[in-house]
Amino acid sequence: MPSFHQVKILPYNVQELFHLVLDVKSYPEFLPWCRAARIISESENQIIAELVIQLKGFSDNYQSRIIYSNDLNKQRYSIEVEAISGPFKYLKNLWQFSQEDTGSKIEFFIDFKMKFAIVDKLVNIFFTDATEKMVDAFEKRADTMLTKINLANYS
């Protein structure tokens, strides 16, 4: 499966963006392919979550391990996601957040492969479009939920 990497600078507080992405329970409210989400367990710096996904006629649920970290002094945050059950042969997803002079820098990376070849081929057709829509959905969610920062304070 091809991987996808994108870097964006957004005019929001880095900590608020980090928490927006970490709010897995809210994913069905704004991610077009996410039908349901629940937290199975949560401990310090780790969440086990279950999501129900639906994309172009394909529907399934999977569990993922989400490991997150933050360095408040350096204004750096990260979220690593790995599938632990479900239709994925593997799924690796990484979000990195840092405060920059021009706003918050977001680095997004995803790479996955489905267990079944026919499903993998189907998903591969829509991979780039679906991934770009997912990143856009997070950005639109930030536009709706967060207050833009005054960039003059960061220069």
| pLDDT tens track for 59-79 | 899 999 999 998 877 789 999
CA–centroid distance for 47 within its chain: 14
What pLDDT, on the 0 to 100 scale, is given for residue 153? 55
Give ∠ CA 36-146-63 in degrees, rounded to 5: 25
Partners of residue 131 on adjacent β-strands = none
What pLDDT, on the 0 to 100 scale, is given for residue 91? 93
CATH of residue 110's domain is 3.30.530.20
- Domain encompassing residue 10: 4-154
- Is 20 strand, coil or helix? helix
How does pLDDT run along the chain (155 residues), one tens digit per residue?
A: 578 999 999 999 999 999 999 999 999 999 988 999 999 999 999 999 999 998 777 789 999 999 999 887 778 999 999 999 998 899 999 999 999 888 899 999 999 888 888 777 777 777 778 788 889 999 999 999 999 887 555 54
Give the count of domains, the chain: 1
What pLDDT, on the 0 to 100 scale, is given for residue 151? 58
Distance, CA of 96 to CA of 13 (rounded, Å): 14
